[in-house]
Amino acid sequence: MSTTKTNKKINKSPDFKNKKTDECWYYSTKVKDHFFNPRNFLKETPEEGEFDTEGEVGNFKCGDIFHMWLKIDKTGKKIEKLAWKTFGCGPAIASASMFSEMVLERGGIKIENALKITPQDIIKRLGGVPSRKIHCSVMAHQAFRNAIENFQKLKSEQSE
């Protein structure tokens, strides 16, 4: 039987064990599901005009890169489609996948509501992530914000 830092007894082997520090990481079933079965993952380069905007962020310290594409409805207020690519670890992929699912629920949500989704909301929906992996949900959130900023900039330029 293993214990975590909170001393909860866990009756399974860790999903990852740092050989230098003996720190153990346990991933929730949802993290594993979104890692092995990512939702809205873009396998190919998007077609010209398929999306209205894109955003990208990278963390060179850990090597994760998040790229997100959005299709916005004609009113400019609702997200119709979201696709992403992430080069990173399991929690990075799971965070991008879960975020995309949250944004596309009920046929897509308004941009203003999607902007209210916090990294903590993503972590909660994933059933938690190891503390060293919290930045993954932050980066999914930042890639989305970057795409929205690019969309607003484009709209502003078109109206001039």
62 is catalytic: yes
89 is catalytic: no
Q: What is the 3-state secondary structure (H, E, C) of the chain?
A: CEECCCCCEECCCCCEECCCCCCEECCCHHHHHHHHCCCCECCCCCCCCCCCEEEEEEECCCCEEEEEEEEECCCCCEEEEEEEEEECCHHHHHHHHHHHHHHHHHHCCEHHHHCCCCHHHHHHHHCCCCHHHHHHHHHHHHHHHHHHHHHHHHHHHHHC
- Please tell me which residue in 136, 138, 140, 143 is annotated as part of the active site: 136
- Please tell me which residue in 62, 65, 102, 134 is annotated as part of the active site: 62
Residues with a known catalytic role: 62, 136
